[in-house]
Structure 1
Amino acid sequence: MIGNKYWLILLFLIGVHSTSVKAQQVLTLKDAIQTAINNYGTIKAKSNYAAASKTSIDQAKRDYLPNLNVSVQQDYGTINGQNGPLYGFGGLAAASSGAPLQDQNWNAAFGGLYLTNINWDFFAFGRAKEKIKTAQAVAARDNKDWQQEIFQHEVKVAAAYLNLVAAQKLTLSYQKNLNRADTFRQVVVTRVKNGLSAGVDSSQANAEVSGAKIALTKAIDFEQTQSNLLAQLMGVPAGHFALDTFLVSRVPAMLNDTASIESHPLLQWYKSRIALSDEQSKYYRTLMYPAFSLVGVLQTRGSGFDAGYGAQNLNAYTHAYWDGVKPTRTNYLIGVGVTWNLTQPLRISRQVRAQQQISTGLQAEYDLADQQLRAQLQLSDTKIANALDNYHEVPAQVKAASDAYLQKSVLYRNGLTNLVDVTQALYALIRAETDRDIAYSNVWQALLLKASASGDFNMFAKEL
């Protein structure tokens, strides 16, 4: 019995430990980026837009197929005819036909019409081909837009991740600062109680502890803000993230890699917009020219009115349904025609000109983006150099500040200095620790800036 209880308790403890380990599982930067790509709404939306544009290519190809219409109708009505002109506006006129009679009558019988029609614009000076190319250009643009959105989001997630790592380190530093201030306050209070220091030192020590608490609260607030931003970019509920802080404790190996912006996803997207505009201009130009069409009609009719029905014999018809709808006469027609709206070129020429001006505007946007990326790439090299200088300086700064604080605190305990000197040493130490936390993160941020400017995120990802 005791053995069973022992095993149950052991299994329970193992389960609790496993749950705790799972809850504190470290979120790596690679996992954060992959989660963001899978979850972020804008990326999923642009993925669907790209898929829709790709499907539109097939639709554009099928637009070249001939129109094939099949029609069947069975009617019951009169066939009074009348000599005179008639035009069926919009196809709304009746197509009754019969001998023109002197008077109206209401003789009615069944009739049927069975029709097959084919209409094919088989040649229109490349109109169908240019329409397909335009659809392909739209698909290429939307795909490039999707790819550049993924790239931009990778950079955003990486930047938010690094900011959160720095924020967590700052929180830890300010927590250590609070602990130091609180520990030193106890020393001050003891000396004041023993009459070794002035009473004002106790008040000043309490003020330093309060200031350390406020600084810690601000650091926690900043960390929570960065954590919330990362959660938004990842498309997951906000919460505390256990991050890979070891990442920023080392310097990336390939900081001086050469980079080029020629294949930057953003520039590729701008190029695809220009290509689409050019293709649209070519397609609009084809609308100026005529279209050659092939037509074919096969028509079969049935009627309840006999061939002798007319003014001499108004009884030559039947009310029988089958006799009226049974096919009895067939006609076919095959023809080739050309259609050309002679005023169309006057309108289309302005449309082509407008599209060409749009292409010029898109080219200007491309040139601006290219200029900005080149400037950003040059700036990234400067930032890397500056970040490395700070990275190499902060260890000496932290050691010197730590030694100074230790020295001043020991001197104060022995009554050889005042509290102001200790406080100044404490400020210098927390400032050095803050510079250290920021300097380590800035090296990676500078590399991320270079990857963002060059359009090669692997430059950053391969260092993870």
Structure 2
Amino acid sequence: MKLNFALSPYQTSIIFRSFCYLPNLIKNKSFFVLVILSLFLSETKTRAQALTLSDAIATAKSNYGTLKAKANYINASRASVRQSEKDYLPNLNLSLQQDYGTVNGQNGPLYGLGGLGVASSGLPLASQNWNSAFGAMYLTNVNWDFFAFGRAKEKINVAKSTVVRDQSDLDQELFQHEIRVAAAYLNLLAAQRLTKSWQNNLVRASSLKNVVVTRAKNGLIAGVDSSLANAEVSSAKIAITRARDFEQEQANRLAVLMGVEQQTFTLDTIFIAKIPISFSDSITNSSPDHPLLKYYSNRIALSNQQAKYYQTLSYPTFSAFGVFQTRGSGFNSNYATDQHSYTQSFYDGVKPVRSNYLFGLGVVWNMTSILRVRNQVLAQKFVSNAMQNEYDLIDQQIKNQLLLSNNKIKNALDNYQEAPIQIKSASDAFIQKSTLYKNGLSNIVDLTQALYILNRAETDRDIAFSNVWQALLLKAAAAGDFSLFTSSF
């Protein structure tokens, strides 16, 4: 970073006086060095506090809450893609249980409604008994829906389309936020210039008041002139208060967009020192790559992808499955004839003694789902049509905004060219009226009117510069390319 050590006249005078007392200060070299360094560092710090537009935009991108939220939405969508890809994997279940209880059985039907039925198995004996032993079951189950007419693939595509939509949502929000920050920056700069113009107006009004009061005290003019001059000074003070209030509002707006606390901003004056070097006259139509249009286009693509996924829900699902089961029991194989043939040993009860396995293929097709899915797909297509209507509306608005921006640029340039003429004429008129008034050849009303015209000319000049840049910013927003604005200064 290159440091600028230019010194103000006040700082130069301090150094000069310090050198005058050099014989005394030479005894304290550290004090002299600290004085010099403090002057350099204070000047460097003051200059470093100037906030450029690029710095304001960079700060806003880092701090603004909406941008952070949309970035997290993208992270969530990306996680959903990974989750959708894992859904195609087969289900692998491991089950181990060890139990202690009775095995009384009874002839008759039983349905375990809601999973609340007891699955005890045994002989239907003539009477209840409370013979108890340990038992166990060890189970491994694999279930894989290996073919469902592209359902898993379409679900993954929906998740990927969601990522694309959320990314384009973040892109368009970033673009619009750049425009908002730039507009707020220009508004604050214009407000600061207006405040300065009103301060100049107060200086002129106060000088006029001093002249009028002096002449009135000497009996050269009527006393009512001093009252009018006092009123003009009060009016100028009120105008400054209003200008500062507007400036504070614009500073607050910029601080909110930057995600920082409200403060006094020192802005780059390049936007009031010159006009843009280019207005991109060759751009007459909005581009389909406009961030806002891309976002609306990706919304339509996501909706169409969801319709394709819903369509697969009406098709059957082919599954492959396999089971391996091992059981242990404390009841012996002759328990049917001898109800005393069991053991209450935990180890003998949970030790695996019988195993079974099973492999198979299956298909499940809910025939009535065809009717339900048909209307679900139809509803999603209507949603896509609605989003297409919204896209067309935004596209039309952007085209009109582009045409409007060209007109605003032309009008702003016309006012910019007229502003210097107005300033010179108003300044000449005020000097003439002031000279005539001091020589008793004009009245206070004409002089006040000239003062008002000069102040209006200064404010028109300040606004003219800002309006040229604001018009170019409007065109950059309509064209969807913020570099049209940033490459012009």
TM-score, normalised relative to structure 1? 0.97
What is the CA–CA distance in structure 2 between the aligned matches of 1:316 and 1:19, rounded to whole Å? Answer: 99
What is the CA–CA distance in structure 2 between the aligned matches of 1:171 and 1:21, rounded to whole Å? Answer: 26
What is the CA–CA distance in structure 2 between the aligned matches of 1:415 and 1:173, rounded to whole Å? Answer: 28
CA contact (8 A) 1:261 1:374 kept: no
**Identity over aligned pairs, percent:** 60
The aligned counterpart of 1:197 is 221
CA contact (8 A) 1:115 1:299 kept: yes
Amino acid at match of 1:368: L
CA contact (8 A) 1:387 1:446 kept: yes
The aligned counterpart of 2:92 is 68
1:367 counterpart = 2:392: yes
**Which residue of the other structure, out of 400, 407, 417, is the alignment partner of 2:425?**
400
The aligned counterpart of 1:241 is 265
1:296 counterpart = 2:319: no
Counterparts of residues 269-418 of structure 1 (less than 5 Å): 269-310=295-336, 312-418=337-443
What is the CA–CA distance in structure 1 between the aligned matches of 2:246 and 2:320, rounded to whole Å? Answer: 72
Tell me by how many angstroms 1:16 deviates: 7.1
1:43 counterpart = 2:54: no
Q: In 2 relative to 1, CA 4–359 (structure 1 residues): closer, same or farther, beyond 3 Å?
A: farther
The aligned counterpart of 2:18 is none
1:18 counterpart = 2:44: no
What is the CA–CA distance in structure 2 between the aligned matches of 1:191 and 1:53, rounded to whole Å? Answer: 78
The aligned counterpart of 2:461 is 436
What is the CA–CA distance in structure 2 between the aligned matches of 1:167 and 1:142, rounded to whole Å? Answer: 37
Tell me by how many angstroms 1:39 deviates: 0.3
Tell me by how many angstroms 1:92 deviates: 2.2
Tell me by how many angstroms 1:120 deviates: 0.7
What is the CA–CA distance in structure 2 between the aligned matches of 1:257 and 1:165, rounded to whole Å? Answer: 26
Q: In 2 relative to 1, CA 107–16 (structure 1 residues): closer, same or farther, beyond 3 Å?
A: farther
Per mean C-alpha deviation after superposition, the further-off stretch among 433-442 and 246-255 is 246-255
> 2:50 aligns to what SS in structure 1?
coil
Deviation digits for residues 114-145 of structure 1 (CA, Å, limit 9, x no counterpart): 00001111001111011001111111111111
Say what the alpha-carbon RMSD is for the aligned residues. Answer: 1.5
Amino acid at match of 2:361: V
Tell me by how many angstroms 1:10 deviates: 4.6
CA contact (8 A) 2:271 2:465 kept: no
What is the CA–CA distance in structure 2 between the aligned matches of 1:152 and 1:96, rounded to whole Å? Answer: 67
TM-score, normalised relative to structure 2? 0.92
What is the CA–CA distance in structure 2 between the aligned matches of 1:315 and 1:453, rounded to whole Å? Answer: 91
What is the CA–CA distance in structure 2 between the aligned matches of 1:135 and 1:164, rounded to whole Å? Answer: 43
> 1:70 aligns to what SS in structure 2?
strand
**Which residue of the other structure, out of 144, 150, 154, is the alignment partner of 1:120?**
144
Counterparts of residues 86-101 of structure 1 (less than 5 Å): 86-101=110-125
What is the CA–CA distance in structure 2 between the aligned matches of 1:22 and 1:315, rounded to whole Å? Answer: 97
Tell me by how many angstroms 1:23 deviates: 5.5
> 1:302 aligns to what SS in structure 2?
strand
CA contact (8 A) 1:57 1:135 kept: yes
1:458 counterpart = 2:483: yes
> 5+ residue gaps in structure 1?
none
The aligned counterpart of 2:255 is 231
Q: In 2 relative to 1, CA 23–238 (structure 1 residues): closer, same or farther, beyond 3 Å?
A: farther
**Which residue of the other structure, out of 177, 200, 204, is the alignment partner of 1:180?**
204
What is the CA–CA distance in structure 1 between the aligned matches of 2:398 and 2:272, rounded to whole Å? Answer: 26
- In the TM superposition, structure 1's runs of 4+ consecutive aligned residues that sit over 6 Å from their partners are none
> 5+ residue gaps in structure 2?
1-23
CA contact (8 A) 2:271 2:466 kept: no
Per mean C-alpha deviation after superposition, the further-off stretch among 184-193 and 17-26 is 17-26
> 2:315 aligns to what SS in structure 1?
coil
Q: In 2 relative to 1, CA 346–97 (structure 1 residues): closer, same or farther, beyond 3 Å?
A: same
What is the CA–CA distance in structure 2 between the aligned matches of 1:297 and 1:147, rounded to whole Å? Answer: 50
What is the CA–CA distance in structure 1 between the aligned matches of 2:373 and 2:332, rounded to whole Å? Answer: 53
Deviation digits for residues 133-192 of structure 1 (CA, Å, limit 9, x no counterpart): 111111111111111111111111100000000000000000001001101111111222
1:153 counterpart = 2:173: no
The aligned counterpart of 1:268 is 294
